[in-house]
């Protein structure tokens, strides 16, 4: 959403919204700003108001921020964070009005984002996906050894490979030929798993037989697999 008053509203997460102000903001835009704030709070949300691109704010903006702050402290689901770089004109206005003692003011967007906890839950999910992928990569490396060994012996029957699923306790075997194993691993982000060992959310099935499924890793796990095996 953007209008000529220089107020942009953007949803960053399920309960996280960003309202950024660009250019000059005074009494003329007061109603638009207050409406943008109340729209976000109506959804029960954390609100970040970013003043980085604002060149000027007057006391009507300050009072809208103070009112938003008062709303947030009386509504548990709502929170207000203000982003304003030190040394900027808007930051000087905020400092002169002394609202930093009540309203949480952050120097930049990433610091504010970290404070909302949204960034940290994203990080936790990413770490988990990487850990799961790491496990699959270890079994994949073991399987490459098995494949290499079977190849050097000229074995063309089915060979017992380790299941490459994300469960670190799984030591089950998959019986596949060297050809099947190689086809499954044409891409470094693909893994050979026992049927039923796939985990939706970190990977999706690209090929399915009675003996095995081939999955493609997604997201950070895929990136890890590509960098370690690619």
Q: Binding mask 158-187 vs Zn ion (x if CB under 5 A, - otherwise)?
A: -----x-x----x-----------------
How far apart CA 221 and CA 203 sit, in angstroms, is 8
For Zn ion, which is the closer residue by CB, 93 or 176?
Answer: 176
Closest approach of Cβ 194 to Zn ion, in Å? 5
Residue 21's DSSP bridge partners are 7
Question: What is the DSSP code (8-state) at residue 102?
Answer: T
Q: Which of 25, 185, 197, 217 binds Zn ion (CB under 5 A)?
A: 197
Alpha carbon 59 to chain centroid distance? Answer: 36
Any contact of residue 140 with Zn ion (CB under 5 A)? no
For Zn ion, which is the closer residue by CB, 49 or 213?
Answer: 213
Number of chain residues interacting with Zn ion (CB under 5 A):
4
- The DSSP annotation for 46-64 comes to EEEEE-TTEEEE-HHHHHH
For Zn ion, which is the closer residue by CB, 15 or 158?
Answer: 158
Q: CA 89 → CA 5, 19, 183, 223, distances in Å?
A: 19, 18, 61, 42
What end-to-end distance do the CA atoms of the chain give, in Å?
41
Cα Rg for the chain, rounded, in angstroms? Answer: 27
Closest approach of Cβ 23 to Zn ion, in Å? 57
For Zn ion, which is the closer residue by CB, 61 or 165?
Answer: 165
Closest approach of Cβ 220 to Zn ion, in Å? 21
Residue 182 in contact with residue 188, Cβ under 8 Å? Answer: no
For Zn ion, which is the closer residue by CB, 50 or 164?
Answer: 164
Binding site for Zn ion (CB under 5 A): 163, 165, 170, 197
């Amino acid at each position: 959403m953007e209008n000529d008053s220089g107020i942009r509203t953007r949803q960053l997460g399920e309960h996280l919204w960003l309202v950024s102000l660009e250019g000059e903001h005074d009494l003329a835009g007061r109603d638009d700003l207050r409406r943008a704030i109340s729209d976000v709070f109506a959804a029960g949300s954390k609100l970040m108001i970013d003043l980085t691109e604002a060149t000027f704010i007057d006391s009507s903006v300050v009072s809208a921020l103070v009112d938003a702050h008062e709303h947030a402290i009386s509504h548990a689901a709502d929170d207000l964070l203000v982003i304003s770089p030190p040394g900027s004109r808007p930051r000087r206005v905020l400092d002169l009005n002394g609202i930093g003692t009540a309203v949480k003011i952050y120097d930049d967007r990433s610091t504010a984002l970290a404070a909302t906890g949204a960034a940290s839950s994203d990080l936790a999910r990413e770490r988990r996906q990487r850990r799961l992928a790491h496990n699959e990569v270890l079994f994949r490396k073991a399987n490459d050894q098995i494949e290499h060994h079977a190849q050097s012996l000229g074995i063309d029957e089915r060979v017992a490979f380790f299941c490459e699923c994300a469960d670190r306790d799984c030591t089950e075997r998959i019986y596949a030929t060297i050809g099947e194993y190689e086809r499954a691993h044409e891409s470094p982000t693909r893994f050979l798993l026992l049927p039923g060992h796939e985990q939706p959310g970190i990977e999706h099935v690209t090929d399915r037989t009675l003996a095995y499924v081939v999955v493609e890793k997604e997201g950070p796990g895929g990136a890890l697999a590509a960098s370690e095996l690619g």
